[in-house]
Amino acid sequence: MTEDSAILQLRNVTGGYGKKQVLFGVSLVVRRGELVAIIGPNGAGKSTVFKVAMGYLQPWEGLVFLNGQGVRSLPTHERVARRMGYVPQGRVVFPDMTVDEHLDVGAWLVKSREARRRAKEYVFQIFPRLAERRGQKAGTMSGGERQMLSMGRALMAQPTIILLDEPSLGLSPKLVDEVFQHIETINRAGVAVLMVEQNAAKALRHAHRAYVIDMGKNHLEGSGKQLLDDPEVRRSYLGG
Amino acid sequence: MDQFLLVVEVVLRGLFLGMLYALLASGLSMVFGVMRVVNFAHGEFLMLGGFLAYFLWSLGHVNPLLTIVIVMPVMFVAGMVVQRLLVERVVGKPVLSSLLLTFGISIVLMNLAQYFFTTNLRGIPYMGEPAQLLGASYARYTLLSFGIGGVLGTVLFSFLRFTSWGKAIRATSQNAEVAMACGIDVRRVRMVSFAVGAALAGAAGVLAAITSAVYPAIGSIIILRAFAVVVLGGLGSIGGALLGALLIGVAESAGTFYLSAEVGQIIAFVVLIMVLLVRPAGIFGARVEA
Ligand SMILES: Nc1ncnc2c1ncn2[C@@H]1O[C@H](COP(=O)(O)OP(=O)(O)O)[C@@H](O)[C@H]1O
Ligand SMILES: [Mg+2]
């Protein structure tokens, strides 16, 4: 069926919202421990791919595999229980909940108190800034802090793959670098990463492999370096 | 001095009254926060809880206070069933569907109660002796019911603030999609929130039966006050509901005392309109907070 090492696989997925078709056949695979990027213009359907992968949106056709098993109609929370993490676009947080409470909610599936404590310690180790703001409400935090909180929250459930939708969008250049550092750290700890990025050049430099998605379809794929050197990619997606 | 004690008495009576509204309004607010459904049948849970307490006491000879220990779990389960079988169907649907559905449930329950229990007023005579407090005399049941309401309010607050289910409820109301990404089964959260609301309304029904009386239409009358409280406190805000309820209770008590009983009846809505003129989103935001 699927390769043994594939954690997440989409095969010829089509779909959309109501009658409006957005995806016209998207296929991709993320293997254990990989860092994979998706780039492509605004409105290409990248976030929609994530919504299908997470089960927020049912695909019209095509297959979604998680660890080799078909999960087409598995509800989102059960995909999370199978160790998928998701950080939506826009640094969405629970505005009235504190940093601590976010991490507690992120650990909803972790039943042992000791494991929860360790997970929190790990998150604070990666994001020391969060440890300083444990009692602060998320709604009052800066964009960069909210992005880290979102990622920390997703890490609490100890995912084997994490989907990051535009993690660096709208951040200052310094914070963008910081976020990419964090993504590398998370990936090096063994978590597979699938990220959508507007910051295409940076994403390709960090990614093992990448997909270009355009108009709801796979357009190109290759190693980060291959795409970085590809004249068409440079022209169309890297701005020269 | 006398004047001062009188004010104290008016305020206290208002707080006692407000506690009943608070029990009702906090559940209403929580349900709205989590599923964006305005539950018109919420008052009927109070009515059913009150009747259940009355019959447990009159037929089963259960101590009136102890009935609460039976009524709350029964209403919890009833709430779960109503939510799963009916209300869950209108979550995320246009607001008219949920209004029609819960309004329909309300009418059916009220008419069933009229059919089976008649329109008679049923009150449980209990702890009617007077007690002195800050220069005025109150029936003991008034103080008792205030105490129970206060305990339940505190328990609800702590539940929402400190337990993982409480946090899941608040998370779901603030952002259901992210809550799902945390592995939370938001359908179950909706069911539990609704059930907790029904149990609290049932407890309010017990207190209503002890402090005055229950009858089939009590729910539809008192729910209007609860709506005023919820809108005042900010839809979805539990803390706001508790504060708003006490505020409305005091306003009602003051209106009745200083003006007339008729004014007391409408004062909740006058306060509501005045607050909304200043703060259109209510005193607090629009999410389940604690
Ligand atoms: N909830 C929605 N309802 C209707 N259309 C949507 C919705 N979300 C996205 N779309 C449309 O789907 C297309 C792809 O959107 P999206 O997946 O967010 O693109 P990307 O993430 O690549 O920028 C866009 O045309 C967008 O307008
Ligand atoms: Mg997007």
C-beta atoms surrounding A221 within 10 Å: 17
* Residue B236 within a domain: yes
Q: How far is the CA of A23 from the centre of ligand 1 (A)?
A: 10
Domain count, chain B: 1
Q: Which CATH class is domain A3-237?
A: alpha beta
Q: What is the mean pLDDT of chain B?
A: 90
Residues 6+ apart with CB under 8 A from B70: B52, B56, B62
Which residues are A211's β-sheet partners? A38, A221
Q: How much of chain B is in helix, strand and coil states, percent to nearest 5?
A: 75, 5, 20
Measured distance CA(A35)–CA(A83) in Å, rounded? 16
Measured distance CA(B143)–CA(B12) in Å, rounded? 10
Contact A107, A184 (CB under 8 A): no
Ligand 1 atom nearest to A50, measured from its CA: 17
Nearest-CA residue of chain A relative to B186? A77
Of B168, B285, B289, the CB nearest to A105: B168
Length of chain A in terms of residues written: 240
What is the token pair recorded at B115?
Answer: 């059919």
Contact B185, B179 (CB under 8 A): no
Q: How far is B81 from chain A (nearest CA, A)?
A: 22
Longest pairwise C-alpha distance within chain A: 52
Measured distance CA(A209)–CA(A194) in Å, rounded? 10
pLDDT tens digits along B180-196: 999 999 999 999 999 99
pLDDT at A190: 95
Q: How far is B186 from chain A (nearest CA, A)?
A: 8
Ligand 1 atom nearest to A216, measured from its CA: 14
pLDDT at B257: 86
What mean pLDDT do residues A223-235 have?
Answer: 90
Could A92 and B177 be called an inter-chain contact, meaning their C-beta atoms sit closer than 8 Å? yes
Q: Whose CA is nearest to atom 24 of ligand 1?
A: A43
pLDDT tens digits along B238-248: 888 888 888 88
pLDDT band at B288 (very low <50, low <70, confident <90, very high): low
DSSP element (H, E) containing B283: none
Q: Whose CA is nearest to atom 27 of ligand 1?
A: A43
pLDDT band at B290 (very low <50, low <70, confident <90, very high): low
Relative orientation angle of helices B164-174 and B2-35, to the nearest 10 degrees: 70
Q: Inform me whether the pLDDT recorded for B289 exceeds 70.
A: no
CA atoms within 13 A on the CB side of A163: 28
Task: Using an 8 Å CB-CB cutoff, list chain A residues near B285.
Answer: 96
Q: Inform me whether the pLDDT recorded for B142 exceeds 70.
A: yes
Nearest-CA residue of chain B relative to A152? B182
Which residues are A65's β-sheet partners? A9, A70
pLDDT tens digits along B209-236: 999 999 999 999 999 888 888 888 877 7
- Report the share of chain B in percent with pLDDT over 90: 59
Edge-to-edge strands of the sheet including A20-31? Answer: A20-31, A6-17, A61-66, A69-70
Could B167 and A101 be called an inter-chain contact, meaning their C-beta atoms sit closer than 8 Å? yes
pLDDT at A81: 97
Name which of A94, A97, A151 to mutate to probe chain B: the one with the most chain B Cβ atoms within 10 A of its Cβ.
Answer: A94
Q: Inform me whether the pLDDT recorded for B263 exceeds 90.
A: no
Measured distance CA(B101)–CA(B87) in Å, rounded? 7
Measured distance CA(A151)–CA(B104) in Å, rounded? 44
Of B171, B186, B285, the CB nearest to A97: B171
The region of weakest confidence among A89-103, B90-104, B112-126, B237-251 is B237-251
Bridge pairing between strands A35-39 and A192-196: parallel
C-alpha triplet A227, A233, A239: angle, nearest 5°: 125
Write the CATH number for B238.
1.10.3470
Longest pairwise C-alpha distance within chain B: 60
* Residue B286 within a domain: no
Measured distance CA(A72)–CA(A66) in Å, rounded? 9
Residues 6+ apart with CB under 8 A from A194: A8, A28, A30, A36, A37, A38, A53, A161, A162, A163, A164
Q: How far is the CA of B47 from the centre of ligand 1 (A)?
A: 47
The domain ranges of chain A are 3-237
Q: Whose CA is nearest to atom 9 of ligand 1?
A: A48
Mutate to test the pocket of ligand 1, among A10, A14, A20 (most ligand atoms within 8 A of CB): A20
Backbone conformation region of residue A43, classed left if phi is above 0, alpha if psi is from -120 to 50, else beta: left
pLDDT tens digits along A8-39: 999 999 999 999 999 999 999 999 999 999 99
* Residue B22 within a domain: yes
A164 in contact with ligand 1, CB cutoff 6 A? no
Q: Whose CA is nearest to atom 1 of ligand 1?
A: A17
Q: How far is the CA of A45 from the centre of ligand 2 (A)?
A: 7
pLDDT at B287: 55
What mean pLDDT do residues B61-74 have?
Answer: 96
A93 and chain B: CB distance < 8 Å anywhere? Answer: yes
Q: Which candidate, B115, B171, B158, places its Cα nearest to that of B26?
A: B158
Q: What predicted TM-score, i.e. pTM, was given to this entire model?
A: 0.92
pLDDT at A1: 52
Q: What are phi and psi of B244, to 5 degrees?
A: -60, -40
Q: B7 is in which domain, residue-wise? A: 2-278
Length of chain B in terms of residues written: 290
Could A108 and B287 be called an inter-chain contact, meaning their C-beta atoms sit closer than 8 Å? no
Which stretches of chain B sit within 8 Å of chain A by CB?
164, 167-168, 170-171, 174-175, 177-186, 285, 287, 289
Ligand 1 atom nearest to A89, measured from its CA: 21
Measured distance CA(B265)–CA(B284) in Å, rounded? 25
Measured distance CA(A159)–CA(A164) in Å, rounded? 12
Could B171 and A157 be called an inter-chain contact, meaning their C-beta atoms sit closer than 8 Å? no
* Residue B289 within a domain: no
Interface confidence, given as ipTM, is: 0.94
Mutate to test the pocket of ligand 1, among A19, A22, A26 (most ligand atoms within 8 A of CB): A22
Measured distance CA(B130)–CA(B136) in Å, rounded? 10
DSSP state of B167: H
pLDDT band at A51 (very low <50, low <70, confident <90, very high): very high
A56 and chain B: CB distance < 8 Å anywhere? Answer: yes
In angstroms, how far is the first alpha carbon of chain A from the final one? 40
What mean pLDDT do residues A175-186 have?
Answer: 95
Could A76 and B178 be called an inter-chain contact, meaning their C-beta atoms sit closer than 8 Å? no
Could A94 and B185 be called an inter-chain contact, meaning their C-beta atoms sit closer than 8 Å? no
pLDDT at B1: 60
Could A105 and B175 be called an inter-chain contact, meaning their C-beta atoms sit closer than 8 Å? no
A46 in contact with ligand 1, CB cutoff 6 A? yes
Measured distance CA(A19)–CA(A22) in Å, rounded? 9
Edge-to-edge strands of the sheet including A84-87? Answer: A84-87, A161-165, A192-196, A35-39, A209-214, A217-223
Q: How far is B35 from chain A (nearest CA, A)?
A: 16
A119 and chain B: CB distance < 8 Å anywhere? Answer: no
